[in-house]
């Protein structure tokens, strides 16, 4: 297993290209199952998770071509060869569960393993299943598998989500596009990834309106055609590098980043004393001298502050000039980075879903270990500002969601390298 060693203290200067969003790409990949014609995805990130989805889709009969130079993934589901997603595949990556809706909509049945919990929380899929039931599917859970059938097709339905779920909104869309009649999703998630999925599905011939608002209308069609779609820029990758520059200091242009997808983060950075400017080529982040100011924030569904940037923002606030309060409202166990940050000298008190971070003047490097993707990168960010060497173990978490992390940071002057574990 690899690890990443960082010697802190160097400010970051230069430009970092932002790739397509992992959390959009995974659902777009699943959308390929809906059409017998090819779906071409440009600006694809090349990550452990997206590769994993490629393997799963291949096992379902999808023909796949990856053109590395142009970051283009061609997915052709001329015929569906299997409708089973086994435990081993869904266990390793939760987003695999997203093949259920498209298979149900296209073929009328599917057997997909329940994902189970994960490090950041229980993460049930009850809202996904209720949405399919509302569309007329028979759902049974047997031996850890969801067996879903709608042999005469899905029917449009009005679905009011009791709380906002990104995954359930996307999954319901992925099924409703081929249902008979109209579906209305109320209290829908408004994340940019939802809009990206709707844009792609509409390019394939779907009729979706209202994506990006809390009410989405979908008029079912009988079939979808092929399309070419460019994956939206990754707002979490963008936010991560913005917080890295804020923490380490420096001046970096995040090329291809979208300011309109990151308003809550931009406000937080402004309050912390970091300059953010939207430029034609992307977002420019600057902090030259002066300590970070403390900021209180809580995570919320979009357009609120994203839970996927909470750990990275906490890393920045560890060396703020004062006390910050953070409330995590999306996942019940998403402060696992706090004790690891404490190993670098951070002062963090966690009480339930609240963390109080008392900024210290400097962090000191140490070996650390992380339990999930965003927690891992928060340790890299803290390491960039810490005195001496920080070694982040269990790098496979990082590889699930950050492509070329070390290369991108090193190109901006960070002292960072990947090492092979003994
Ligand atoms: C997506 O997860 C992202 N994953 C997560 O990113 C992200 O943190 C999350 O949205 C919130 O923005 C992908 O897109 C692959 P939810 P998702 O359904 O869809 C509860 C990362 O690091 N819930 O919006 O699973 C759930 O447990 C990952 O890239 C139910 O109770 O999130 C959570 O508390 C981590 N029942 C809340 O809702 C359900 O049926 C919101 O989850 C569904 C969700």
pLDDT in tens, 327-385: 999 999 999 999 999 999 999 999 999 999 999 999 999 999 988 999 999 999 999 99
| Domain parsing of the chain, residue ranges | 22-230, 233-420
Q: Determine the longest span between alpha carbons in the chain, in angstroms.
A: 65
Which CATH superfamily, name and number, covers 233-420? Enolpyruvate transferase domain (3.65.10.10)
DSSP string, 338-357: HHHHHTTT-EEEEETTEEEE
Mean pLDDT along residues 34-40: 98
Res 84: pLDDT: 97
Which residue owns the Cα nearest ligand 1 atom 8?
308
Q: Is residue 374 within 6 Å of ligand 1 at its C-beta? A: yes
Q: Which among 108, 180, 95 has a CA at the least distance from the CA of 137? A: 108
**Does an H or E element contain 96, and which?**
none
- Matching CATH topology for 22-230 and 233-420? yes
Q: Summarize pLDDT for 213-267 with one digit per residue, the tens.
A: 999 999 999 999 999 999 999 999 999 999 999 999 999 999 999 999 999 999 9
Q: Is 331 helix (H, G, I), strand (E, B) or coil?
A: coil
Which residue owns the Cα nearest ligand 1 atom 43?
125
Cβ atoms of 401 and 378 within 8 Å: the answer is: no
Determine what percent of the chain is predicted with pLDDT higher than 90. 94
Mean pLDDT along residues 199-226: 98
Task: Give the CATH class of 22-230.
Answer: alpha beta
Nearest atom in ligand 1 to 401's CA: 29
Which residue owns the Cα nearest ligand 1 atom 42?
165
Res 321: pLDDT: 98
Does 150 have pLDDT greater than 80? Answer: yes
Q: How far away, in angstroms, is 351 Cα from ligand 1 center?
A: 22
Determine whether 118 is an active site residue.
yes
Q: Is residue 363 within 6 Å of ligand 1 at its C-beta? A: no
Instruction: State pTM to two decimals.
Output: 0.98
Res 421: pLDDT: 66
Q: Which among 12, 2, 3 has a CA at the least distance from the CA of 381? A: 12
Q: What residues does 277 pair with on adjacent strands?
A: 284
Q: Summarize pLDDT for 60-83 with one digit per residue, the tens.
A: 999 999 999 999 999 999 999 999
Higher-confidence position of 36 and 370: 36
Does 187 have pLDDT greater than 80? Answer: yes
Structure tokens at 52: 């994993």
Q: Is residue 117 within 6 Å of ligand 1 at its C-beta? A: no
Reported confidence tier of residue 422, pLDDT bands at 50, 70, 90:
low
């Amino acid at each position: 297993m690899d690890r990443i060693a960082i010697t802190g203290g160097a400010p970051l200067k230069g430009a970092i290209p932002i790739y397509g969003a992992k959390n959009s790409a995974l659902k777009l990949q699943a959308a390929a199952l809906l059409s017998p014609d090819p779906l071409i995805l440009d600006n694809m990130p090349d990550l452990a998770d997206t590769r994993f989805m490629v393997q799963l889709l291949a096992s379902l009969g999808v023909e796949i071509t990856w053109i590395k130079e142009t970051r283009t993934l061609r997915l052709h589901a001329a015929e569906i060869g299997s409708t089973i997603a086994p435990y081993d595949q869904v266990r390793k990556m939760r987003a695999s569960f997203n093949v259920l809706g498209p298979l149900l909509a296209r073929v009328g049945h599917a057997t997909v393993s329940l994902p189970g919990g994960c490090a950041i929380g229980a993460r049930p899929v009850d809202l996904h299943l209720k949405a399919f039931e509302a569309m007329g599917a028979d759902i049974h859970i047997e031996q850890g598998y969801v067996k879903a059938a709608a042999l005469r097709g899905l029917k449009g339905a009005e679905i009011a989500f009791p709380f906002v779920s990104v995954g359930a909104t996307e999954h319901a869309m992925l099924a409703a596009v081929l249902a008979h009649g109209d579906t209305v999703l109320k209290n829908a998630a408004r994340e940019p990834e939802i809009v990206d999925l709707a844009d792609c599905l509409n390019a394939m011939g779907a009729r979706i309106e209202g994506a990006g608002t809390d009410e989405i209308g979908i008029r079912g069609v009988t079939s979808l055609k092929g399309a070419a779609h460019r994956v939206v820029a990754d707002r979490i990758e963008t936010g991560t590098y913005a917080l890295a520059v804020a923490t380490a200091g420096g001046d970096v242009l995040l090329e291809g980043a979208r300011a309109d997808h990151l308003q809550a983060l931009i406000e937080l950075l402004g309050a912390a004393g970091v300059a953010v400017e939207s430029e034609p080529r992307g977002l420019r982040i600057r902090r030259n001298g002066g300590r970070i100011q403390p900021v209180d924030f809580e995570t919320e569904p979009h357009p609120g502050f994203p839970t996927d940037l909470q750990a990275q923002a906490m890393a920045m606030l560890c060396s703020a000039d004062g006390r910050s309060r953070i409330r995590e409202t999306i996942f019940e166990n998403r402060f696992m980075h706090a004790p690891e940050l404490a190993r670098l000298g951070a002062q963090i008190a966690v009480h339930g879903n609240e963390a109080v971070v008392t900024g210290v003047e400097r962090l000191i490097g140490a070996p650390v270990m992380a339990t999930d993707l965003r927690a891992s990168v928060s340790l890299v960010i803290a390491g960039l500002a810490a005195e001496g060497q920080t070694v982040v173990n269990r790098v496979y978490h990082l590889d699930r969601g950050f492509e070329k992390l070390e290369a991108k940071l090193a190109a901006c002057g960070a002292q960072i390298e990947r090492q092979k574990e003994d």
